[in-house]
Structure 1
């Protein structure tokens, strides 16, 4: 069986998320390492003729071994996807060096946020012209989508985008997004879950590729350091890692927007599920949501009363 057939059959045996987020980035990294080794590295400079000869006859046993290794690696690394996202968000631990790096990176993010806040101001007389209004609107949108409040800044752009998405339900409805989301998600209709899954997969796969391209740069540096002209592959990999990370930030913005839509449209599903009466206006909703969030987060006893549905009528 040819290599492409083996990979196709392997993809059918795993879920679509594992295929997209786990196998494809790993396949790219495996392909790079195999290509460099087949072309003669690290003993000699890569030879495209050797690579072409190896590509024409990869060997059935080697192809099967490669597919098995890819599947095994994807299964092992898949549970670590959340850890990778948290690392890219800026959760770097409390080691002295990590704290110093986080402080410097957070200060850089604060300067970027301050620039957007400054762009919201208008110091001219009268009404701003159309270009100025557009610039102010773009700055306002970027501030809402990309940054939380100043006291909750993270060291990275990704971390701030995801934290801003966590905070928007709090500002709008008084709901703690982190606490409420696991309770709201099971109540969402399948169409909404599908949108969320697609947006999350897009974010995860771009961030996984960012990590893979960074590892590829290290691999190229290790295998090609004795052949300086070929070190350009390491630089290209670093550029691709940066582009993938930026794409991941954009995908995170899209994912956060879908999460916000889920709160906007389906937050009222929470009240019947928690046996609470529906609020009559936004003020009473925010007050009730604050109590619900505090209770679920800290188990502080609430003051609200339960509203149970009537018992079913006897047959």
Structure 2
């Protein structure tokens, strides 16, 4: 291989990563008020931007989009890039906070996941009532891509949800690169994890919650499922555990679309416009366009 060819791939990857990070950051800055990042209350009460409950879905995009954040995240920070991206494409976009533990501000997604799914049910009902839509589409990152499956399977969500798009979802739990296998060697560690942060304990591969969730199949009829994963995920491991099995499932590995995409677990949900392009395709499959490295600039 010629020397310049050996240098091209890492250089191109660096340029692409920079573009993926910078382009949406500019959009997020433009969407925020002059004082900086919007507060949770501002996001929920604003008459513009996402979480605008006066927004009425268009004929082109008849379903509002419900964004479900990941563990330790919240309804604003997780979506500073994706929410404006979808708004710019004509969607009514909403996000919620869920899974808060008593005395723990700002960080969400730590409570029992079954309880969080109940909070999602209430939120979806609120969005449908405000918009007049019959169904929503759900887009979730990490836990937020997995938790809605409980709502669909056990809490009646199947009648109110058209599609679920999971970005790096821990659908079958995680081993954290094998670290969870060490828990049995530390007496009391598993009990402490369950009592202090049940939302984390529920996400450990083999947990009682995940066993119940996945029993009888990964999906329910009537919902379109998309999973978008990166092989560089260091949180949900192995990354292949994110994928679902079912008759109406589209599993996507980003590096099959753009070998230069270096996003890991966090960036795939926060800044990766290649992943965002796949989200847009999943929300409007009739007008989907091919996703490639060039999607980072679209």
Classify the TM-score, shorter chain: under 0.3
Normalised by the length of structure 1, the TM-score is 0.22
Larger Rg: 1
Comparing both structures, which one devotes a greater share of its residues to helix? Answer: 1
